[in-house]
Amino acid sequence: MNTDTIVAVATPAGKGGVAVVRLSGSEALAVAMGHLTASRLQPRKATFCRFTDTAGQLVDEVLATWFPAPHSYTGEEMVEISCHGSPYVQQEVVAELIASGARLAEPGEFTLRAFANGKLDLSQAEAVADLIDSATPAQHRLAVSQLRGGYANELKRLRQQLLDLTSLLELELDFSQEDVEFADRCTMLDTVAQLQSRVQSLLGSFSTGNALKQGVPVAILGRANAGKSTLLNALLGDDRAIVSPIAGTTRDTIEETMTIDGITFRFIDTAGLSQSDDELEALGFARSIKAAQQATILLFVRSVTIPFNAYATDDIAYFTDQCDMSSKHLFIVHNKCDLPHESNPPGHIVSAKEGLGIDSLKASMVAAMRKDASANDGVLLTNLRHRSALQRVQEALLHVAEGLGQQMPTDLVAVDLRDAIYHLGTITGDVTNDELLGNIFSRFCVGK
């Protein structure tokens, strides 16, 4: 691990009122003091002074703050210099500090050092990147929960339980000559089953977590002319898609995002089901199926002018049969309610054209996602890397359970258990390697 002194602008590139230049490393204070007119800096107190170049010329008037190790973001000696946000001044300040012995930081290097010094675990460091990227309240809540919340605690608890189990098994191995069993195999199997079910619910929360992070995919499905494109436009409050009385107007999927009550939705208008054997339509329809399979919410749109039992249920089954519905919501939308119609079965009654029932449909989608998000005590898996690691943990736990169930020798069971701990450790960074760290921290910007 490098401990040389690094420097970078922490604020966004470009012109601004103020810019913050950060220094971290054992020489941070010395390097900074070579350019500051203050006689000394007090710990964690901003000092107003001048920043001069090596020739003693004034570069800017600044505020400098010293964060003595280990009470800083990185855990190292740090100095933050707030200067005026002119690109020229920022560049000069950084160049001068480099001339005095600092090195330009790599992307994410400050956070990497925070991780290396035990200030954050790896999943928390990743949450910092998500927090910086978050643009909606839902994304922000997920990042904050991963940074300081239930998710990190849940991982810690899982790890502790796995470690407890391992130490029991290892104790047995130590006394293997004496043929004693410290732990009753049934109790151990019970514990493993509990662990499996916790990992399973974390894995199960991924589709919700990922949807909230990336935008909840909503597929607008149904027959040609049902009013799907009109509904898309009504939801967006915008004339996004072409609408016409000709069946088969929409040939390709059209996607548009919108944030409602803090949750981002990705609405996907699709080509409608039709009887024709037009080749282009068939291609478009294959995409509709794919949109349905990838969606979290399916809006099945029908026109109330065609009796429900005439076809609609078969159409719905046509989509749902091709999807794993266990983590999806199906909303039936009875459209064109401004026209004369028979009474409708349960569902949402709307007129996309007149804008009737649209707000209540939106509110139901928001409510469905809020409910999903609060399941599993609000602990949601959002990170693809964590998901594959947890899948490995789950495989290893399955082997542990089999081993215990089949009275396998203790040392073999212990191997699988260590495997589970290993994979869990890759999430938190208890186990790590340079390639993994490189992948994660290269996502950051310079200065974080």
Ligand X SMILES: Nc1nc2c(ncn2[C@@H]2O[C@H](COP(=O)(O)OP(=O)(O)OP(=O)(O)O)[C@@H](O)[C@H]2O)c(=O)[nH]1
Nearer to Mg ion, 274 or 432 (CB): 274
Segment lying near ligand X (by CB under 6 A), choices 144-152, 202-210, 348-356, 421-429: 348-356
Segment lying near ligand X (by CB under 6 A), choices 196-204, 349-357, 359-367, 405-413: 349-357
Is 248 an interacting residue with respect to ligand X (CB under 6 A)? yes
Q: Which does 225 bind (CB under 5 to 8 A by kind): Mg ion, ligand X, none?
A: ligand X
Least distance in angstroms from the C-beta of 251 to ligand X:
8
Q: Which does 302 bind (CB under 5 to 8 A by kind): ligand X, Mg ion, none?
A: none
Is 353 an interacting residue with respect to ligand X (CB under 6 A)? yes
Least distance in angstroms from the C-beta of 429 to Mg ion:
48
Record the tokens describing residue 201, joined without a space: 């619910």
Nearer to ligand X, 124 or 351 (CB): 351
Is 244 an interacting residue with respect to ligand X (CB under 6 A)? yes
Is 17 an interacting residue with respect to ligand X (CB under 6 A)? no
Segment lying near ligand X (by CB under 6 A), choices 90-98, 136-144, 246-254, 427-435: 246-254
Q: Which does 114 bind (CB under 5 to 8 A by kind): Mg ion, ligand X, none?
A: none
Instruction: Give the count of residues interacting with ligand X (CB under 6 A).
Output: 23
Q: Which does 244 bind (CB under 5 to 8 A by kind): Mg ion, ligand X, none?
A: ligand X
Q: Which does 227 bind (CB under 5 to 8 A by kind): ligand X, Mg ion, none?
A: ligand X
Please pick, from the candidates 282, 339, 375, 384, the single residue that binds ligand X as defined by CB under 6 A.
339
Nearer to Mg ion, 205 or 250 (CB): 250
Burial call 178-187: b when 16+ CB within 10 Å, e when fewer = eeeeebeeee
Q: Which does 102 bind (CB under 5 to 8 A by kind): Mg ion, ligand X, none?
A: none
Interface positions, 196-235, toward Mg ion (CB under 5 A): 228-229
Interface positions, 204-243, toward ligand X (CB under 6 A): 224-230, 243
Q: Which does 191 bind (CB under 5 to 8 A by kind): ligand X, Mg ion, none?
A: none
Give the three-state DSSP class for 331: strand
Question: Which residue type does 343 have?
Answer: S
State the CB neighbour count (10 A cutoff) for residue 279: 8
Nearer to ligand X, 224 or 427 (CB): 224
Is 335 an interacting residue with respect to ligand X (CB under 6 A)? yes
Interface positions, 265-304, toward ligand X (CB under 6 A): 271-272
Q: Which residues pair with 265 in a beta bridge?
A: 216, 258
Q: Is 38 exposed, middle or buried (0-12, 13-18, 19+ CB in 10 A)?
A: middle
Nearer to ligand X, 124 or 288 (CB): 288
Question: Which residue type does 73 have?
Answer: Y
State the CB neighbour count (10 A cutoff) for residue 258: 16
Q: Which does 245 bind (CB under 5 to 8 A by kind): ligand X, Mg ion, none?
A: ligand X
Nearer to ligand X, 49 or 289 (CB): 289
Question: If you search the block for the tokens 């012109």, which residue do you land on?
Answer: 15
Instruction: Give the count of residues interacting with Mg ion (CB under 5 A).
Output: 4
Which residues contact Mg ion (rule: CB under 5 A)? Answer: 228-229, 249-250
Which residues contact ligand X (rule: CB under 6 A)? Answer: 224-230, 243-245, 247-250, 271-272, 335-336, 338-339, 351-353
